[in-house]
Amino acid sequence: MTRAARSALCLGAALAMLAVGAPGAVLATVSLPSPQALYLPADLSNVCEASPQALQQAIDRHWHGAFGANNSLDQWTQLIRSFACDLSGSRDLGWHRVPLRAYESAIRYPLTWTETETVNGRVRRQIKTYYSAAQLPPRIDFWVGGRIDEIRYDRRLRRLDARFFAPRPAQNGRGGSADTQCAATTLQFRQQNGLWLLSGVEPTTAPRC
Protein backbone atom coordinates (compact mmCIF):
# COMPACT_ATOMS: atom_id res chain seq x y z
CA MET A 1 0.00 0.00 0.00
CA THR A 2 1.41 3.37 -0.99
CA ARG A 3 1.92 6.25 1.51
CA ALA A 4 -0.87 8.24 -0.16
CA ALA A 5 -3.28 5.30 0.12
CA ARG A 6 -2.43 4.83 3.80
CA SER A 7 -3.00 8.54 4.45
CA ALA A 8 -6.38 8.43 2.70
CA LEU A 9 -7.38 5.35 4.69
CA CYS A 10 -6.43 6.97 8.01
CA LEU A 11 -8.32 10.16 7.10
CA GLY A 12 -11.41 8.16 6.14
CA ALA A 13 -11.31 6.26 9.43
CA ALA A 14 -11.00 9.46 11.42
CA LEU A 15 -13.96 11.00 9.63
CA ALA A 16 -15.99 7.85 10.23
CA MET A 17 -15.22 8.01 13.97
CA LEU A 18 -16.46 11.59 14.12
CA ALA A 19 -19.56 10.72 12.15
CA VAL A 20 -20.63 7.96 14.54
CA GLY A 21 -19.44 9.73 17.70
CA ALA A 22 -16.80 7.17 18.58
CA PRO A 23 -15.07 7.35 21.97
CA GLY A 24 -12.30 9.92 21.99
CA ALA A 25 -13.79 11.98 19.19
CA VAL A 26 -13.88 15.70 20.06
CA LEU A 27 -17.42 16.76 19.25
CA ALA A 28 -17.73 19.72 21.60
CA THR A 29 -15.70 21.90 19.26
CA VAL A 30 -18.39 21.78 16.58
CA SER A 31 -21.42 22.31 18.83
CA LEU A 32 -22.81 25.83 18.83
CA PRO A 33 -23.34 27.58 22.18
CA SER A 34 -26.92 28.45 23.01
CA PRO A 35 -27.77 32.15 22.58
CA GLN A 36 -27.25 34.14 25.76
CA ALA A 37 -30.05 36.67 25.29
CA LEU A 38 -33.72 36.02 24.61
CA TYR A 39 -35.69 38.81 22.93
CA LEU A 40 -39.38 38.14 23.40
CA PRO A 41 -41.99 38.58 20.66
CA ALA A 42 -44.58 41.32 21.13
CA ASP A 43 -47.23 38.94 22.47
CA LEU A 44 -44.93 37.79 25.30
CA SER A 45 -42.92 40.92 26.16
CA ASN A 46 -45.74 42.33 28.32
CA VAL A 47 -45.47 39.94 31.24
CA CYS A 48 -48.65 41.31 32.83
CA GLU A 49 -50.85 40.33 29.91
CA ALA A 50 -48.96 37.48 28.27
CA SER A 51 -49.68 33.83 28.97
CA PRO A 52 -47.33 32.71 31.78
CA GLN A 53 -47.15 29.22 30.31
CA ALA A 54 -46.19 30.53 26.87
CA LEU A 55 -43.50 32.72 28.43
CA GLN A 56 -42.07 29.78 30.35
CA GLN A 57 -42.10 27.58 27.25
CA ALA A 58 -40.25 30.24 25.25
CA ILE A 59 -37.56 30.50 27.92
CA ASP A 60 -37.28 26.73 28.26
CA ARG A 61 -36.94 26.23 24.49
CA HIS A 62 -34.33 28.95 24.21
CA TRP A 63 -32.04 27.40 26.83
CA HIS A 64 -32.91 23.78 26.03
CA GLY A 65 -34.42 22.74 29.34
CA ALA A 66 -31.62 24.19 31.50
CA PHE A 67 -34.07 25.02 34.29
CA GLY A 68 -35.28 21.52 35.02
CA ALA A 69 -38.79 21.26 36.44
CA ASN A 70 -41.37 23.71 35.11
CA ASN A 71 -42.27 24.87 38.61
CA SER A 72 -38.90 26.65 38.75
CA LEU A 73 -39.81 28.91 35.83
CA ASP A 74 -43.38 29.22 37.05
CA GLN A 75 -42.17 30.61 40.38
CA TRP A 76 -39.79 33.03 38.58
CA THR A 77 -42.58 34.18 36.27
CA GLN A 78 -44.88 34.93 39.20
CA LEU A 79 -42.09 36.82 40.98
CA ILE A 80 -41.24 38.93 37.94
CA ARG A 81 -44.94 39.73 37.46
CA SER A 82 -45.24 40.91 41.05
CA PHE A 83 -42.35 43.33 40.54
CA ALA A 84 -43.55 44.60 37.17
CA CYS A 85 -47.33 44.67 37.66
CA ASP A 86 -49.75 45.24 40.49
CA LEU A 87 -49.72 42.81 43.40
CA SER A 88 -52.19 40.48 41.76
CA GLY A 89 -49.96 40.33 38.68
CA SER A 90 -52.93 41.05 36.43
CA ARG A 91 -52.23 44.39 34.78
CA ASP A 92 -49.39 46.66 33.70
CA LEU A 93 -49.20 49.76 35.89
CA GLY A 94 -46.82 51.47 33.49
CA TRP A 95 -43.35 52.73 34.34
CA HIS A 96 -43.46 53.18 38.12
CA ARG A 97 -41.29 53.16 41.20
CA VAL A 98 -40.99 49.97 43.20
CA PRO A 99 -39.89 50.25 46.87
CA LEU A 100 -37.37 47.48 47.46
CA ARG A 101 -38.24 47.02 51.14
CA ALA A 102 -41.73 45.95 50.09
CA TYR A 103 -40.14 42.78 48.71
CA GLU A 104 -37.76 41.86 51.54
CA SER A 105 -38.97 38.26 51.55
CA ALA A 106 -38.05 37.94 47.87
CA ILE A 107 -34.42 39.10 48.24
CA ARG A 108 -31.38 36.84 48.13
CA TYR A 109 -28.29 38.18 49.86
CA PRO A 110 -25.76 39.40 49.01
CA LEU A 111 -27.81 41.89 46.97
CA THR A 112 -25.97 44.13 44.52
CA TRP A 113 -27.12 47.61 43.57
CA THR A 114 -25.35 49.00 40.49
CA GLU A 115 -25.43 52.70 39.68
CA THR A 116 -24.22 54.12 36.38
CA GLU A 117 -22.94 57.65 36.09
CA THR A 118 -21.11 59.63 33.41
CA VAL A 119 -17.96 61.46 34.52
CA ASN A 120 -16.04 63.55 31.97
CA GLY A 121 -17.82 61.74 29.15
CA ARG A 122 -16.97 58.28 30.45
CA VAL A 123 -19.54 55.88 31.86
CA ARG A 124 -18.63 54.52 35.28
CA ARG A 125 -20.42 51.79 37.19
CA GLN A 126 -20.51 51.77 40.98
CA ILE A 127 -21.60 48.57 42.71
CA LYS A 128 -22.96 48.54 46.25
CA THR A 129 -23.37 45.22 48.02
CA TYR A 130 -25.80 44.57 50.86
CA TYR A 131 -25.28 41.41 52.90
CA SER A 132 -28.44 41.56 55.01
CA ALA A 133 -31.75 43.40 55.34
CA ALA A 134 -30.24 45.46 58.15
CA GLN A 135 -27.80 47.01 55.67
CA LEU A 136 -30.48 48.21 53.24
CA PRO A 137 -31.10 51.97 53.26
CA PRO A 138 -34.44 53.12 54.74
CA ARG A 139 -35.72 53.67 51.20
CA ILE A 140 -34.39 52.25 47.94
CA ASP A 141 -36.57 52.42 44.83
CA PHE A 142 -36.20 51.51 41.18
CA TRP A 143 -38.23 52.15 38.05
CA VAL A 144 -39.89 49.21 36.35
CA GLY A 145 -42.68 48.59 33.86
CA GLY A 146 -44.58 45.61 32.57
CA ARG A 147 -42.54 45.03 29.41
CA ILE A 148 -39.35 43.00 29.30
CA ASP A 149 -36.81 44.09 26.72
CA GLU A 150 -34.57 41.04 27.05
CA ILE A 151 -33.86 38.04 29.28
CA ARG A 152 -30.37 36.68 29.87
CA TYR A 153 -29.26 33.48 31.57
CA ASP A 154 -25.76 32.91 32.91
CA ARG A 155 -25.23 29.16 33.07
CA ARG A 156 -22.08 29.43 35.17
CA LEU A 157 -23.64 31.67 37.81
CA ARG A 158 -27.12 30.17 37.31
CA ARG A 159 -28.52 33.69 37.20
CA LEU A 160 -31.53 35.03 35.29
CA ASP A 161 -31.54 38.69 34.28
CA ALA A 162 -34.64 40.52 33.03
CA ARG A 163 -34.23 44.00 31.53
CA PHE A 164 -37.15 46.40 31.44
CA PHE A 165 -36.74 49.29 29.01
CA ALA A 166 -39.23 52.12 28.57
CA PRO A 167 -39.61 55.90 28.47
CA ARG A 168 -40.57 57.48 31.76
CA PRO A 169 -41.14 61.09 32.92
CA ALA A 170 -37.96 62.94 33.83
CA GLN A 171 -37.43 63.45 37.55
CA ASN A 172 -37.97 67.21 37.31
CA GLY A 173 -41.70 66.42 37.19
CA ARG A 174 -42.64 68.86 34.45
CA GLY A 175 -43.76 66.07 32.14
CA GLY A 176 -44.19 66.30 28.40
CA SER A 177 -42.28 64.57 25.63
CA ALA A 178 -39.34 66.98 25.92
CA ASP A 179 -38.79 65.82 29.51
CA THR A 180 -38.98 62.11 28.82
CA GLN A 181 -36.00 59.91 29.50
CA CYS A 182 -35.26 56.40 28.32
CA ALA A 183 -34.75 54.26 31.38
CA ALA A 184 -33.78 50.63 31.77
CA THR A 185 -33.78 48.50 34.89
CA THR A 186 -32.17 45.07 34.99
CA LEU A 187 -33.37 42.74 37.71
CA GLN A 188 -31.07 39.83 38.52
CA PHE A 189 -32.34 36.62 40.09
CA ARG A 190 -30.56 33.63 41.62
CA GLN A 191 -31.89 30.52 43.25
CA GLN A 192 -31.87 29.81 46.96
CA ASN A 193 -33.38 26.64 48.37
CA GLY A 194 -34.96 26.02 44.99
CA LEU A 195 -36.61 29.45 44.75
CA TRP A 196 -35.67 32.33 42.47
CA LEU A 197 -34.99 35.47 44.52
CA LEU A 198 -33.88 38.99 43.60
CA SER A 199 -30.07 39.22 43.83
CA GLY A 200 -29.29 42.47 42.01
CA VAL A 201 -30.75 45.68 40.59
CA GLU A 202 -29.13 47.85 37.92
CA PRO A 203 -31.05 50.99 36.88
CA THR A 204 -29.71 53.01 33.95
CA THR A 205 -30.93 56.08 32.08
CA ALA A 206 -30.28 57.58 28.66
CA PRO A 207 -30.57 61.31 27.87
CA ARG A 208 -33.55 60.95 25.51
CA CYS A 209 -35.59 58.22 23.83
Q: Which pLDDT tens digit goes with each residue over 10-25?
A: 434 433 333 333 333 3
Confidence label for 169 from pLDDT (cuts 50, 70 and 90): low
- The structural domains of the chain, with segments of one domain joined by +, span 1-31, 37-206
Higher pLDDT, 37 or 182: 37
pLDDT at 160 over 80: yes
Q: What is the pLDDT of residue 125?
A: 87
Q: Which pLDDT tens digit goes with each residue over 29-88?
A: 334 445 589 999 999 999 999 999 999 999 999 998 888 766 899 999 999 999 999 877
27 Cβ contact list (under 8 Å, min separation 6): 18, 21
50 Cβ contact list (under 8 Å, min separation 6): 43, 44
Residue percentage of the chain with pLDDT more than 90: 48
CATH of 37-206, one of 1.10.260, 1.10.3470, 3.40.50, 3.10.450: 3.10.450
Are the C-beta atoms of residues 162 and 146 closer than 8 Å to each other? no
pLDDT at 193 over 50: yes
pTM: 0.76
Torsion of CA 138, 84, 69, 111, to 10 degrees: -20
Ranges 67-81, 158-172, 183-197: which has the least confidence: 158-172
Mode of pairing for the β-strands spanning 107-119 and 195-206: parallel
Q: What is the pLDDT of residue 105?
A: 94
